[in-house]
Amino acid sequence: MVDDVIPYENLKLRILNASHVLLAFMGLLSGYETIDEALADDALRGVVTRFLDDYVLTDIEAPAGVDAASYKKTALERFSNGAMGDQNVRVGGDGASKIQVFWTETMRRRLKKNLPIDLLAFGAASWLEALKGKGENGKTFQPFEPSLSENDWARIRSDKFSDAFELSAFDGWRDVGDQIFFDKLVFYREVLRKKGFRAALSLL
């Protein structure tokens, strides 16, 4: 019974949950309040679609009788439903825990195969930047991160962008490509801070 459930859970984690939080982090930095508003932005939708098509669907084992591409389409349709009222600050909340659970498998697979990880590194950098509680349009919000310690917050707020690399959110793939992720994380953090979200987005 458990073995039968695992493939379905992996599908949900790697497609729906992983793209949901990625979109939320970007939406917060863009000043959008809800997931459907973020997805209506062609640039953000493009990143999420590329993540799913290039990072996930190319390397996922779907349960028998389930089409992963159709599952992705259904997930995006759900995200675009304004009636859901999904708040980016809620979906992106507790990002430290969600990144570990939702992104680790995809990140590990790509690092082991020496495949690009820019979309997830950018996503991680966007999460860290969003923890400032302010979007690029000046709109403020209150981040929710119950698992972060005072030391974690000090690392996040440090002007030395590499300090955040020590956060436990990134522990899931340290043993398979920590330097690659380190370099990408620092790069996108620097661009986000110095040039802004849209400038960093244009580099993907």
Question: What confidence tens digit (pLDDT) does each residue in 77-113 have?
Answer: 999 999 999 999 999 999 999 999 999 999 999 999 9
Its pTM stands at 0.96
Mean pLDDT of the chain: 95
What are residue 67's phi and psi, to 5 degrees?
Answer: -95, 115
pLDDT at 1: 42
pLDDT at 178: 85
4 has pLDDT over 80: no
The total number of structural domains that make up the chain: 1
Structural domain harbouring 68: 2-201
**CATH number of domain containing 20:** 1.10.1040.10
